[in-house]
Amino acid sequence: MSVLRVLHLSKAFGGVHAVENVSFEVGEGEFLALIGPNGAGKSTCFNMINGQLAPDAGDIEFAGRSIAGWKPRDIWRLGVGRTFQVAATFGSMTVAENVQMALKMALVSHHGEIFRFGAAFAARHRERAVELLAQVGMADAAERACKELAYGDVKRVELAIALANEPRLLLMDEPTAGMAPRERNDLIGLVKRLVIERRISVLFTEHSMDVVFAHADRIIVLARGVMIAEGDAKVIRDNPQVQQVYLGTGRTFTPHVEGRV
């Protein structure tokens, strides 16, 4: 059963086809990687699924509803969480407040709720926020200002934010960019654990092939806006077209070795 269905999606910018007739599905509990050269249309796909861009053609179905052209905030309410290539958090708030903000928005039925002028914000949803932070290993930093955190930690906080609305689908745009190999494995391991515990589906883009080949259930390859391959790690690694436009000879990344730390 699929959570997300992308049907014949297309988007052009000033005559250049960023995404052309792309279709795929994300199954329940699936960990699906979207890879491809820079400018292949991965982020454009993400931005259409999460509502930042409206598709020119095609449809996006989430949990059986067509969400193409919806606003990000409405898509989020349906249960789609997102992390960004450059982590987007609220720098002037504490770590806990960041998550509280998301929880607050997750637990209200309509936007009117945010227009509350009286009650102090500080105590709201505090316990749940700390609980969520504990799950991403950031409970100790709850009181620190978000702007003071190291980048890897900011990514964890962002993950906690994205999980606040109990999403059924998590979109992660280059989740391990700028991380050292071990941090990468830690973060992806964490996400996979959450995926299994909470039965979330994950769609992610990534340039770090060791992460992709080690962890993705299935891989989709985009090039110049078109889907050129789909399959598991072995299929993708052995596909000559993918090697030519994306993977190269593999000299610059480690092929995954079983049992590596």
Partner 1 sequence: MSAAMLEVERLTAWYGAAQILFEPSFHIGRGEVVALMGRNGAGKSTTLKALMALIPQRSGTVRFLGEDISHLKPFEIARRGLGFVPEDRRIFSDLTVLENLDVGRQPLRHHPDGRPAPSWVPEKLFTIFPNLGEMPDRRGAQMSGGEQQMLTVARTLMGNPLLVLLDEPSEGVAPVIVEQMANTIVELKKEGLSVLLSEQNIHFAQLVCDRAYVLEKGQLQWHGRMADLANDVTVQRRLLSV
Partner 2 sequence: MSLEAILFQALNGLAAASSLFFVGAGLSLIFGVTRIINIAHGSFYMLGLYLAATFATKLVGGLGFWGGILAAALVVAALGALVELLLLRRIYQAPELFQLLATFALVLIFNDMAQYVWGPEDLLGPRAPGLRGSVEILGRNFPSYDLFLIAIGPLVLLLLHLMLAKTRFGRLIRAATQDREMVGALGVNQAMLFTVVFALGAFLAGFGGALQVAREPANLGLDLVVISDAFVVVVVGGMGSITGAFLAAVIIAEVKALCIGIGLVHFGAVAVNFSKLTLVAEFLVMAIVLIARPYGLLGRPQGAVRNPAEIDDPIRPATWPLKAASAALLIGLLLLPLADKASPYALVLGIDVLIAILFATSLHFIMGPGGMHSFGHAAYFGLGAYGAALMVKFLAVATPVALIAAPLAALMGALLFGWFAVRLSGVYLAMLTLAFAQIVWSILFQWEEVTGGSNGILGIWPQPPFDTRPAFYLLTLALVVAGVLLLRCFLFAPFGYAIRAGRDSALRAESIGINVKRVHWIAFAIAGAFAGIAGGAFAFAKGTISPDVAWVSRSIDAMVMVLLGGIQTLAGPSVGAAVFTVLQDNVMRQTTFWRGLLGAVILLLVLVFPGGIVGALSKRMAARRKPA
Binding site for partner 2 (CB under 8 A): 50, 71-74, 76-77, 82, 84, 88-94, 97, 101-102, 104-106, 108, 111, 113-122, 124, 145, 147, 158, 161, 164-165
Please identify, using beta-carbon distances, which residue of 207 and 256 lies nearer to partner 1.
Answer: 207
- Touching partner 1, residues 198-227 (CB under 8 A): 207, 209
Q: Which does 150 bind (CB under 5 to 8 A by kind): partner 2, partner 1, none?
A: partner 1
Least distance to partner 1, CB of residue 61, Å? 29
Among 54, 108, 114, 150, binds partner 1 (CB under 8 A): 150
- Touching partner 1, residues 1-60 (CB under 8 A): 16, 36-40
Q: Which does 65 bind (CB under 5 to 8 A by kind): partner 2, partner 1, none?
A: none
Please identify, using beta-carbon distances, which residue of 109 and 252 lies nearer to partner 1.
Answer: 252
Q: Which does 114 bind (CB under 5 to 8 A by kind): partner 1, partner 2, none?
A: partner 2
Q: With binding defined as CB under 8 A, does residue 91 bind partner 1?
A: no
DSSP state letters, the chain = -EEEEEEEEEEEETTEEEEEEEEEEEETT-EEEEE-STTSSHHHHHHHHTTSS--SEEEEEETTEE-TT--HHHHHHHTEEEE-SS----TTSBHHHHHHHHHHHHH-SSGGGG---SS-STTTTHHHHHHHHHHTT-GGGTTSBGGGS-HHHHHHHHHHHHHTT--SEEEEESTTTT--HHHHHHHHHHHHHHHHHHT-EEEEE-S-HHHHHHH-SEEEEEETTEEEEEE-HHHHHH-HHHIIIIITTSTTSPPP-TT--
Q: Which does 3 bind (CB under 5 to 8 A by kind): partner 1, partner 2, none?
A: none
